[in-house]
């Protein structure tokens, strides 16, 4: 066994899922309507397609607009948003640069 590894057993993807996955009953699913997508688009300065420095997930922006708890919320968008710089599709998990 590798002496630099601090755990007694090798890590597995299943262990990571158990640590970072909420039970389905505790997830807040927010349906994002067209007007909310429209309200979010002006806050996008760029996306992962047109700017390699994009590092904020679009759902963080949605957290701010909806006031939802980021640790318990997942979004389902009525339609994709568009990056104003390159017109690429922006989904809930697309990395962006906020305005």
pLDDT in tens, 70-85: 989 999 999 999 999 9
15 within a domain of the structure (yes/no): no
**Which two three-digit tokens encode residue 10?**
């090798």
The H-or-E segment that residue 90 falls in is strand 89-90
51 within a domain of the structure (yes/no): yes
By residue count, the chain amounts to 99
- pLDDT of 53 > 80? The answer is yes
Nearest to 34 by CA among 78, 71, 72: 78
pLDDT confidence tier of residue 91, bands split at 50, 70 and 90: very high
19 within a domain of the structure (yes/no): no
pLDDT in tens, 7-19: 555 556 665 555 5
16 within a domain of the structure (yes/no): no
pLDDT confidence tier of residue 24, bands split at 50, 70 and 90: confident
* Per-residue pLDDT, 3: 53
For the chain, the domain total comes to 1
- Average of per-residue pLDDT values in the chain: 86
Domain that holds residue 79: 24-98
- pLDDT of 46 > 80? The answer is yes
């Amino acid at each position: 066994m590798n002496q630099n590894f601090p755990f007694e057993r090798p890590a597995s993807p299943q262990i990571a899922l158990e640590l970072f996955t909420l039970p389905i009953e505790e997830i807040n699913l927010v349906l994002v309507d067209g007007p909310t997508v429209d309200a979010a688009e002006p806050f996008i300065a760029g996306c992962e397609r047109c700017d390699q420095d994009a590092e904020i997930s679009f759902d963080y922006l949605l957290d701010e607009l909806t006031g939802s708890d980021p640790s318990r919320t997942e979004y389902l968008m009525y339609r994709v948003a568009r990056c104003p710089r390159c017109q690429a599709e922006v989904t809930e998990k697309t990395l962006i640069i906020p305005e």
